[in-house]
Amino acid sequence: MTERKYDAIVHYVMAVCGGFLGVYGLVNRFNIFGSAQTANLISIIGDLFGKNVNGAAIRIGGLLIYISAIIIPTILERKTTWRLKYLAIGVEVIGVFILSILPTDMNPIFGLYPIFFMTAFQWAIFKGANGYVSSTIFSTNNLKQTLSAWTEYYLIDKNKEERKEKAAKAKFFGGTLLGFHIGVFFGYFFSLRFRIQGIWFCIPILATALVLLLLDDYRIREDKKEKIGIYREDI
């Protein structure tokens, strides 16, 4: 089977997208990080204790959107043969359009509903590359994996094969971390300059990932054709 040449690069590009979306929510929606649910879940409990039923309901709505965006691709992965990475990019393009037309003065949690769906959907589909499981929408675990792999690398004897494996692992997770924070940089720049409309600058990132996916699929199709041709000649 032909290996996907650009698999890791696509992962890094989607990490750029993840960083961009994360900071977009922080800048434009009152410093709320829409890529994760930890703070939202805590705030739901806080709203319930404070008897803020409306606030809790809005946050629960966001939680349900996030949950659905994880469940849907999980089902599709089991029940279809679709190339779901294309679907994820399509979902994010639609999300970009929706984010661009939402008013600036709306409830910030409502304003994050598209990001809840986009990032969770991305997380469920772009799970990693090169045999590593890695998120493209967070940085904490990527930081942990990078540091632990480099630490182990320096603790292992130089002549052992395991040392090379740790170096490769550290480079992969470090590359994901770098990609994420490149996205953070551009997300800050365009959000501060263009506010809500800054989301449109996520499109070139998604387009880059799409082109790389198409190139990989084209290579695999051509390789299959070549192998079939060789097989027929042998017959």
Domain count for the chain: 1
The pTM of the whole model exceeds 0.85: yes
| Predicted pLDDT of residue 191 | 97
Residue 112 lies in a domain: yes
Rounded Cα distance, 152 and 173, in Å: 14
Quick one: average pLDDT of 207-223?
A: 95
Work out the burial of residue 199: count CB atoms within 10 Å of its CB; fewer than 13 is exposed, 13-18 middle, 19 or more buried. buried
**pLDDT tens digits for range 125-136:** 999 999 999 999
**pLDDT tens digits for range 128-187:** 999 999 999 999 999 999 999 999 999 999 888 899 999 999 999 999 999 999 999 999
Q: What is the CATH number of the domain that holds 83?
A: 1.20.1250
Residue 233 lies in a domain: no
Quick one: average pLDDT of 14-40?
A: 96
In 3D, which of 51, 41, 23 has the Cα closest to residue 184? 23
Paired strand residues for 132: 129
CB atoms within 10 A of CB 162: 11
| Predicted pLDDT of residue 229 | 66
Rounded Cα distance, 177 and 149, in Å: 14
The mean-pLDDT minimum among 6-15, 18-27, 218-227 falls in 218-227
Residue 1 lies in a domain: no
Alpha carbon distances (Å) from 116 to 129, 162, 210: 23, 39, 21
Domain housing 171: 7-225
Q: Is the pLDDT score of 110 beyond 90?
A: yes
Residue 24 lies in a domain: yes
Residue 230 lies in a domain: no
In 3D, which of 215, 212, 210, 206 has the Cα closest to residue 93? 206
Q: Is the pLDDT score of 1 beyond 60?
A: no
Q: Higher pLDDT residue, 7 or 226?
A: 7
